[in-house]
């Protein structure tokens, strides 16, 4: 999983801060060391002067008074003659520890100054070795040393201070960075939350995040523009479906009426009767399809219900009469028919039951049967459509009420369909304050139960 922008920003700020502090630390350390070392340099020059002055004044090592060196405690010093014998050394010092090699001695006698680091009583010292002269004569070697403890203690203290400050700054910058990034990204989260709330069925909503930062405003405006185009396209499509299904339903209903009149004629030969019956069934199927499309468009357009008391037992009988010949190979039966009155839209309720019965008849293999029953209890009516068909696989069950969803093999088993029958049935049940339950087991048929709240008034 990739890091969120918030975390990325917080970590980047922390890293940048730590890098800056590290660079600052090294710069400071370098500068401080330079300052402290040049301090030691000038002290060493003064020390050298202090030791060599009495020698130069006396003209020889033997005549010079070197007792001042022995007592001196702020610096260390050793005076040697040309044979390498120690003539004087400060009291703290073990002169042997500052022994020089032959090569070093000859370099010093030639006029070089040599610098070394050593430790006296655990204290670091910088030692400078030079020649001693009296007039133009070289008469010995002098070594003077100054403590360099201050340099390391100052740089150590600096390192500790920077380490502590760095750790605190890292933690603080992570927290502040996270908080900053959070508040900077909050407007985007708000836009996302609104965008998520906008459903396909409600494209009229807009994000309209006025007063937000410019970048977020641009994002919201772009999104709103896209929503506007989508809304227009959906509306055009809905109006088209509404117009077409409405235009189709009227002539189709007239056509079925005419076919039924023809079928009632006496003296029709068997073949013509069969053909007319098949045509009537096909027209019936087209009417159901166009009705479903029409209702779907109504759902999207947010059409209200035309509520009246509906006698559900009459309605079930009507559906039974209309559907019993839909598929002669499957028997449609009427089960228990209690009396029930529901406050609702008769056309929609009829379409709901018809869709359930149609599915039962369509998916049940020849020889099976479908039973339509109506039960009532104190507060609700239950319309039950039970078939002896193939059942619905558990994987399909959660989706069968989705628009345009058709189970695998539905086309092969039950022929054509658009996958909208159950979506409409469920919407109708919900719009009436009810719900649809389905129980199905592969190979053992399906049972669809619609629960609807009862109306207490008389039926019309």
Given the rule CB under 5 A, which of 106-114, 330-338, 402-410, 413-421 is the region that contacts Mg ion?
A: 413-421
Figure out which of the listed residues 400, 428, 431, 436 binds ligand ATP, where binding follows CB under 6 A.
Answer: 400
Please work out the total of residues on this chain that contact Mg ion, with binding judged by CB under 5 A. 2
In terms of CB distance, is 143 or 355 closer to ligand ATP?
Answer: 355
Least Å distance, CB 316 to ligand ATP, is 17
Phi and psi torsions of 210, nearest 5°: -65, 150
* Residue 359 binds Mg ion (CB under 5 A): yes
The answer for residues whose C-beta is within 8 angstroms of residue 408's C-beta and 6 or more apart is: 393, 396
| DSSP designation for 296 | H
* Residue 392 binds ligand ATP (CB under 6 A): yes
Least Å distance, CB 336 to ligand ATP, is 20
Containing 439, the helix (H) or strand (E) segment is: strand 435-440
Whole-angstrom Cα distance, residue 96 to residue 79? 12
* Residue 429 binds ligand ATP (CB under 6 A): no
Site string for ligand ATP, 305-344 (x = CB under 6 A): ----------------------------------------
* Residue 284 binds ligand ATP (CB under 6 A): no
Least Å distance, CB 377 to Mg ion, is 28
Paired strand residues for 123:
120
Least Å distance, CB 190 to Mg ion, is 42
User: Contacts for 177-181 with beta carbons within 8 Å, 24 or more apart?
Assistant: 177/9, 177/10, 177/11, 177/12, 177/13, 177/14, 178/6, 178/7, 178/9, 178/10, 180/9, 180/13, 181/5, 181/6, 181/7, 181/9, 181/10
- Cα separation of the two ends of the chain: 63
| DSSP designation for 327 | -
Report helix angle 149-197 to 214-264, nearest 10.
30
Figure out which of the listed residues 284, 389, 391, 421 binds Mg ion, where binding follows CB under 5 A.
Answer: 421
Figure out which of the listed residues 389, 428, 431, 450 binds ligand ATP, where binding follows CB under 6 A.
Answer: 389
Figure out which of the listed residues 35, 70, 418, 442 binds ligand ATP, where binding follows CB under 6 A.
Answer: 418
Q: Hey, what are 428's tokens?
A: 């109708």
* Residue 292 binds Mg ion (CB under 5 A): no
Span 79-108, contacts to ligand ATP by CB under 6 A? none
Whole-angstrom Cα distance, residue 416 to residue 286? 11
Please work out the total of residues on this chain that contact ligand ATP, with binding judged by CB under 6 A. 22
Going by C-alpha positions, the residue among 327, 315, 334 that lies closest to residue 386 is: 334
In terms of CB distance, is 124 or 419 closer to ligand ATP?
Answer: 419
Footprint on this chain of ligand ATP (rule: CB under 6 A): 292, 355, 359-360, 363, 387, 389-390, 392, 400, 405-407, 410, 417-423, 446
């Amino acid at each position: 999983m990739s890091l969120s922008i918030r975390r990325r920003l917080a970590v980047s700020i922390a890293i940048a801060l730590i890098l800056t502090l590290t660079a600052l630390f090294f710069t400071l350390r370098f500068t401080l060391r330079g300052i402290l070392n040049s301090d030691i340099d000038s002290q060493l020059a003064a020390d050298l002067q202090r030791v060599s002055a009495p020698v130069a004044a006396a003209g020889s090592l033997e005549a010079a008074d070197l007792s001042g060196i022995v007592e001196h405690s702020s610096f260390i010093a050793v005076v040697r003659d040309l044979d390498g014998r120690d003539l004087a050394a400060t009291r703290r010092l073990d002169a042997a520890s500052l022994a020089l090699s032959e090569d070093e001695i000859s370099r010093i006698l030639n006029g070089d100054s040599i610098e070394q680091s050593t430790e006296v009583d655990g204290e670091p010292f910088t030692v400078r070795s030079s020649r001693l002269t009296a007039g133009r004569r070289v008469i010995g070697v002098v070594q003077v040393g100054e403590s360099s403890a201050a340099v390391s203690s100052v740089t150590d203290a600096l390192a500790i201070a920077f380490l502590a400050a760095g750790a605190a700054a890292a933690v603080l910058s992570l927290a502040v960075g996270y908080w900053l990034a959070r508040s900077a990204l909050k407007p985007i989260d708000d836009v996302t939350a609104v965008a998520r709330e906008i459903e396909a069925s409600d494209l009229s909503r807009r994000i309209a995040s006025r007063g937000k930062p410019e970048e977020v405003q641009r994002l919201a405006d772009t999104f709103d523009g896209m929503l506007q185009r989508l809304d227009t396209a959906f509306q055009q499509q809905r109006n088209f479906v509404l117009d077409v299904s409405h235009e189709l339903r009227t002539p189709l209903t007239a056509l079925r009426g005419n076919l039924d009149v023809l079928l009632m004629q006496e003296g029709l030969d068997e073949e013509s009767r069969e053909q007319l019956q098949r045509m009537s069934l096909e027209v019936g199927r087209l009417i159901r399809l166009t009705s479903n499309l029409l209702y779907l468009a109504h759902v999207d357009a947010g059409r209200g219900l035309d509520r009246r008391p509906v006698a559900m037992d009459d309605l079930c009988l009507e559906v039974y009469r209309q559907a019993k010949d839909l598929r002669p190979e499957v028997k449609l039966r009427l089960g228990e028919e209690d009396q029930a009155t529901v406050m609702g839209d008769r056309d929609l309720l009829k379409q709901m039951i018809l869709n359930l019965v149609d599915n039962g008849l369509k998916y049940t293999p020849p020889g099976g049967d479908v039973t339509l029953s109506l039960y009532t209890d104190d507060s609700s009516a239950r319309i039950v459509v039970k078939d002896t068909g193939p059942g619905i696989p558990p994987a399909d069950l959660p989706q069968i009420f989705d628009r345009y969803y058709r189970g695998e093999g539905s086309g092969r088993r039950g022929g054509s369909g658009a996958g909208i029958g159950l979506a409409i049935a469920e919407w109708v049940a919900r719009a009436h304050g009810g719900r649809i339950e389905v129980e199905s087991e592969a190979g053992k048929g399906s049972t669809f139960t619609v629960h609807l709240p009862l109306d207490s008034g008389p039926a019309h």
